[in-house]
Amino acid sequence: MVTEKEAIRVLIVDDHAVVRSGLTAFLKVFDDLQAVGEADSGAEAIHLCEQVTPDVILMDMVMPGMDGAAATEAIRQRWPKTQVIALTSFREENLVQAALQAGAIGYLLKNVTADQLADAIRSAHAGKPTLAPEATEALILAAMHKPALGGDLTDREREILALMAEGLSNPDIAERLFVSRSTVKFHVSNILAKLSAESRTEAVAIAIQHGLV
């Protein structure tokens, strides 16, 4: 039987309490995995790393304030032996790239099974990467071709772009679509990047010019 000292120490980082508690409960099922803390932001994750020194971090990517990629980069610089697995609901290519460039060793979607996640944690601890099939596909498609301007916008991004064109703010869009503000902020950032725009106003102008809205 694995002792507490031998168990892989896991820190959970997510801005949703229900996700954190669910992951903590999941870790208790495996005697070789141990939850050593929960953080609701990237900044708190860094603070907790100083206290609990985790072996592996399950890192949400889209959070208010310091996002997962920034937190991952900061943690990997200070604690290079700590491995980070991006665990998110988003499969967008730019988010996958940001996570991996920041130093994450894995990228998984939150619909992953318990056994798959446990295996990914063990692999990360051993220095072996794990990528969700969707993340691998996103990277391959990005490498194969560069889409026409706006051609890589998702349906949700087009929906948000249309609301931006109506003059709605992020909070207004969040309320209209029944999603969190951090989710809207993430999509708006994606839209600006995909349209090579420096601002919301420029993004809307480009969208109108190219018939995207």
139 band by pLDDT with thresholds 50, 70 and 90: confident
Mean pLDDT of 162-187: 95
Q: Is 131 helix (H, G, I), strand (E, B) or coil?
A: strand
Segment 111-122 mean pLDDT:
95
Give the pLDDT confidence score for residue 147 in this predicted structure. Answer: 64
| 44 vs 41: CA distance, rounded Å | 5
CA angle 39, 94, 81 (to 5 degrees): 45
Share of the chain above pLDDT 90, in %: 76
Q: What's residue 31's pLDDT? A: 93
More confident residue, 147 or 112: 112
29 in Cβ contact with 9 (< 8 Å):
no
Share of the chain above pLDDT 70, in %: 95
pLDDT at 140: 79
Q: Which residue has the tokens 């991996």?
A: 100
pLDDT tens-digit profile of 56-94? 999 999 998 899 999 999 999 999 999 999 999 988 888
Which pLDDT does position 20 carry in this prediction? 96
Phi, psi angle pair for 136, to nearest 5°: -60, -45
Distance CA 146, CA 75 (A): 32
Using the predicted structure, report yes or no on whether residue 135 has a pLDDT greater than 70: yes
Mean pLDDT of the region 195-211: 91
pLDDT, the chain, mean: 92
Q: Which CATH class is domain 155-209?
A: mainly alpha
Domain covering 8-141 assigned CATH 3.40.50.2300 in the classification: yes
Domain ranges of the chain: 8-141, 155-209
Q: What is the largest CA-CA distance in the chain?
A: 64
- Tell me whether the CATH fold assigned to 8-141 matches the one assigned to 155-209: no
The predicted structure's pLDDT at residue 146: 63
The pLDDT of 103-130, averaged and rounded, is 95
User: What is the DSSP-derived secondary structure letter of residue 82?
Assistant: S
The pLDDT score that the predictor gives to residue 2 is: 60
Can you read off the two tokens belonging to residue 154? 């998702």
Radius of gyration of the chain (CA): 18
Please give the C-alpha separations between residue 50 and each of 47, 65, 99, in angstroms, as whole numbers. 6, 20, 21
Buried/exposed code over 86-118 (b: 16+ C-beta within 10 A; e: otherwise)? bbbebbbbbbbbbbbebbbbbbbebebeeeebb
Residue 3's pLDDT is 61
